[in-house]
Amino acid sequence: MPNYEHLTRFAGLPVVEFTGRDTADNRFHEDREPAWRRGKRVLAQGPEPEEDLARAIGEPGAFAWRLRMEPTGLLPGTGERTEPSEGLGAYLDRFTGTVDTRTITALIIGKFPFISHHCSTESDRLRDELIALAPHLPRLRALFFGEVLREESEISWIGHGDLGPLLTAYPRLTELTVRGSDGLRLGVGEHRSLRRLTIQSSGISPDVVESIAGSSLPELEHLELWLGVEEDGAAAPDDLGSLLSGTAFPGLPHLGLRNAEFTDDWVRALAEAPVTPTLRTLDLSLGALTDEGARTLLSAPAFRSLERLDLHHHYMSEDMTERIHEAFTGAGVRVDISDRREPDLEGYEDEEEAWLYPAVAE
C-alpha cells in the first residue's frame, strides 16, 4: 500500500536519508572529508545506507533528501518510545553543516517522534523549522511534508496546522505533497509557481478542500486528493462544487480523486461536471469502484475525451473490467484496470452488503 514503505524516488530523483545521530555511524560523521572522498568511490549499484549517504554528500543535488528521526527505544514498562538523544535543532544544524543544501531541489520530511498523535504541534514545529531553513534551500522545488508510514502512525492520526506559510516561504516550489489532513489548512492566498499539489488522506474534510479551492494557483496542472472514508470525515461531491465546476482552477489538465470509499458517487458527479471535458487525465484509483460506477463511465460521453483514465484498485467484476478496457481502449483512452479486488464477504451472505475498502484506510 502507498503508506507502507518509504519512497525510493521522489521528483525524479533517488532518495537518500540523512540519518539521526542515534542511528548513524558516529565515525562517519566525525570527519566530512573522508566521507566526501569515499563517497566519490561508491558504486551506484546497491550501496549500503552509509555509502549511499556518503555519495549523496558528494553530489547533493542529484538526490531527494529525507529528513526523519527515529526514537531510541522503549521506556521500561510503558511500551512508549523514547525521544532521540539529539534534538531537532541540532539535527537540522548537522544537516546544513554536513550537506551543501544550496543545490538540493527535492526534500522529504518524515516522522519526528516528539509528540503524541492527533496533534498539530509537531507539524507546526517542523513547518517553522523548515521556514527557517529557506535561505539554505534556494533551489528547492519539490517537497513531501509528512511521509509517515502506517507502522509509525495511522494516516488519520497525522495532524497538521496551516501550511500556507510554508508555501509562502518557498515561492519557487513547483510540487507539494502532504500526507495527513487532520486540521490541515492551506490558506496560501496566491502561489505563482506550484504545478503539482497532492493531499494524501483517509478522510479529506470539506474545510481542507475549501482552503485549497480558495487559493490562487495559476500554474496548477496536477491536483490529487485522497478522499478517504466517511467515518474519517471525507468530503462528498457536493463539497467540491467550485472544483467540479471548473471555476477553482480553470483549465486544470489532471485531476485525481483517489482512495475514495464511494467512488461510484464521484463517477456520477463527474459525468455531469463541467470540469470533466477539460481534463486530459483522470485518476480514480485506490478506491472502491464497482460495476454501478463502471456503467456510468460507459454511458457518459465526457469520459471518452480523456487521454488517460486510472482505475487501478477497484471492485468491478471480471466481465465489467473487460468491457471498460475494450470501450476506452477503442476510444483511444489509455486505461489502467489493474489490481481488481474481491469484496470482503466475512460475516455477510449478500455481496451487496460486503465491505469495500479503499487502499488507504484503517
Per-residue pLDDT tens digits for 273-312: 999 999 999 999 999 999 999 999 999 999 999 999 999 9
Instruction: Identify the bridge partners of residue 144 per DSSP, sorted by sequence position.
Output: 108, 177
Where do the domains of the chain lie, and which CATH numbers do they carry?
A: 9-279 (3.80.10.10)
Q: Reply yes or no on whether the pLDDT at 20 is more than 90.
A: no
Nearest CA to 272 among 250, 302, 297?
302
Question: Any idea which of 177-181, 320-324, 346-350 has the lowest mean pLDDT?
Answer: 346-350
The three grid cell numbers given for residue 259, joined into one nine-digit string: 482512495
With cut-offs at 50, 70 and 90, classify the pLDDT of residue 348. Answer: low
95: part of which helix (H) or strand (E)?
A: helix 88-98
Mean pLDDT (whole number) for 228-242: 92
End-to-end CA distance of the chain: 12
d(CA 114, CA 81): 10
Q: Reply yes or no on whether the pLDDT at 131 is more than 50.
A: yes
Please list the helix, strand and coil fractions of the chain in percent, rounded to the nearest 5, in that order: 35, 20, 45
d(CA 70, CA 57): 21
Give the pTM: 0.88
| Residue 357 amino acid letter | Y
d(CA 308, CA 262): 21
- DSSP, collapsed to helix, strand or coil, labels residue 335 as strand
Instruction: Identify the bridge partners of residue 185 per DSSP, sorted by sequence position.
Output: 162
**CB of 164 within 8 A of CB of 149?**
no
pLDDT digits (tens, 9 = 90+) for 74-115: 444 555 555 566 788 899 999 999 999 999 999 999 988 654
pLDDT digits (tens, 9 = 90+) for 305-344: 999 999 999 999 999 999 999 999 999 999 999 999 998 7
